Copies of this chain bind each other. A is one copy, B any other.
Amino acid sequence: MKENSTQNHSTGETYQDIYRWGNKKSTEVDLGTLAFLEKRFSTQRETQRKIGKMVSSQKTVEISPSKLLPEHKAFFENLLGKENVKSSDFARANHSFGKFYTDLLFLRNAQVPFPPDVVLSPKNHQEIESIVAYCNQHKIAILPFAGGSSVTRALEFPHGGVALDLKSRLNQIIEINQTNHTVTAQSGILGPDLEAALNKEGYTCGHFPQSFEFSTLGGWVAAKGAGQCSTGYGRAEELLVSLKAVTPIGTFEGKDFPSAVQGFDLKHLFVGSEGTLGVITEVTWKIFKHRPQNTQKSSFIFKDFFSSTAAMREMIQNEIGKPHLFRISDGKETDFAFSHLGFQGTWKDKLLSTLGYKSPQRCTMVMTVEGESTYGKSVMGNMKKIARKHGGFPSGEEPINKWLKQRFDSPYLRDGLMEEGYMIDTLETAVTWDNLHGLWQAIHRYFETNPKVYGMSHISHVYPNGCNIYAIFISPMKDEPLENTLKEFHAFQQGIIQTFVENKGSISHHHGVGRMGAEFMSGQFPKEGFSMMQGIKDLFDPSGIMNPGGNMLGLKDRFGSEDSKS
């Protein structure tokens, strides 16, 4: 299958071919991690492995037939060519999910509750204009589908309709402009393809989300993403220069001015719109000189979360320049990582404990600085000074080098953990510094309400006025019917978002809202703010064809007669 090969799946048509994160790398879980989990949960390896294997489906995909009317199919085939209009079971199932935990569960149980009726692979802006206009006229739902890496239930088709496959053909670089330090490309280009083309000319895109290998330029903008080096390079909204998008009321095309006043700037509406307003077709993006040889790296161990975050805050607020990668793993995550890296129990571990850097309070901070070499040294020198002032123990380059080596591996690890009978999920939120500790403590209190959960967190995107927090939890899977598992997971997971918003965090920092956070949306907008968002949605998409049925707006369904079944 062509549309599959870009994800490096095997060439089969099984559920596993859809749910796996790619097959380039081993997904085997290291023994250190397994031992850590077994100790924590008093689980047996064979029992958990059996549960894991039970939800590992190599069946060939079979789903309910497409409801696309023949005349619509004919229109699309005429427009795009037959080979770019797919309604096979596999093609449709392959565009029915992101990589959210429940997405994987459904697939591992050979279930596809909300498939599209057809997968269309347009090659340019004009074809997308024709598709959107046609669908608007005939009230056919559309959802742009590119990398497919969503972890927020952003990719579901409760009303069937069109999955607009952007990555197969809408993936060309239009211009690398070395004078302006920008690149313009079609929105469906995958991270590695964009980066390779830029590297060849001596540039980098500066944006490396964990989903980098299977996410696209347009997806980064639509989900308002942030890469691992966002503290230095900026997040998607800052890297974005301009964009072109097709909406049901027409095309928006921005200009690439560095900054201009021409009324309010509509491009911001598409940032974080998650397919609810239109389809982003082209993006102009900032680029940077690619000089990996200049990268300064360092790491520190702190005695606790409070001293590490005090250091972090001082580093980002003292106007010493900015690190690019900048992270703190809290005590629980540090313990988990140390077990994964085989650090626990070594003499270094013992030395640290003797010096007062004790598990489970001790935290790890890692940072890199990129750019011109003297700049990097100046920034890193000042960061080190501040780290020491707050009691940071210098742990050198090894931790950051290890981290960088596996920077895109966590999604593979998740597949492996599921095979071993453990689920892992992750949510994230944004918070101001003055609410950080309260929120962090609330997250851990919440984790502790469930003895079958190991919860940990880290900070990975840092701003002068605050930061994000990741909330990550691992739990042994149970031998229970899918329905119960889903219900239990849903309840626990929504409780985390509830904890975020009750403690002054946002629904999400950069994963997006999706259907996962939809219920919380209206509550986040005091006064008339949320109805204004609905008004914008209705303005751009009067028939409600863009991503209908419980999307991130949390809107009541305005499409078709049937309510979302999700």
Contacts and interface: CB of A to CB of B under 8 A. Distances in A.
A372 to B, nearest CB: 5
A429 B261 CA distance: 9
Given A250-B531, A320-B371, A508-B261, A255 B524 contact: yes
Interface in A246-275: 247, 249-266, 268-274
A266 B529 contact: yes
Residue with the greatest number of chain B CB neighbours at <10 A, chosen from A259, A320, A512: A259
Contacts of A273: 263-264
A433 B265 contact: no
A372 B318 contact: yes
Contacts of A382: 372, 374-375
29 contacts: A180-B432, A180-B433, A180-B434, A180-B466, A181-B464, A181-B465, A182-B465, A250-B527, A250-B529, A250-B532, A252-B528, A252-B529, A253-B529, A254-B529, A257-B430, A257-B432, A258-B463, A261-B272, A261-B506, A261-B512, A261-B513, A262-B272, A262-B513, A264-B277, A268-B268, A286-B465, A320-B374, A321-B375, A375-B379
A100 to B, nearest CB: 15
A256 B528 contact: no
A375 B507 CA distance: 36
Interface of A: 177, 179-182, 223-224, 226, 235, 237, 241, 247, 249-266, 268-274, 276-277, 286, 288-289, 313, 317-321, 370-372, 374-375, 378-379, 381-382, 429-434, 461, 463-468, 505-513, 521, 524-529, 531-533, 535-536, 539-540, 552-553
Residue with the greatest number of chain B CB neighbours at <10 A, chosen from A180, A253, A320, A374: A180
The 4 nearest A-B residue pairs measured at CB = A250-B528, A319-B371, A260-B506, A258-B466
A286 B370 CA distance: 25
Given A257-B432, A320-B375, A432-B180, A266 B506 contact: no
Contact of A260 (B286, B319, B508, B536): B508
A463 B259 contact: yes
Contact of A510 (B179, B261, B468): B261
Contacts of A180: 432-434, 465-466
Nearest to A253: B526
A552 to B, nearest CB: 6
Contacts of A319: 288-289, 370-372, 375
A514 B80 CA distance: 45
Contacts of A465: 180-182, 241, 256, 258, 286
A533 B433 contact: no
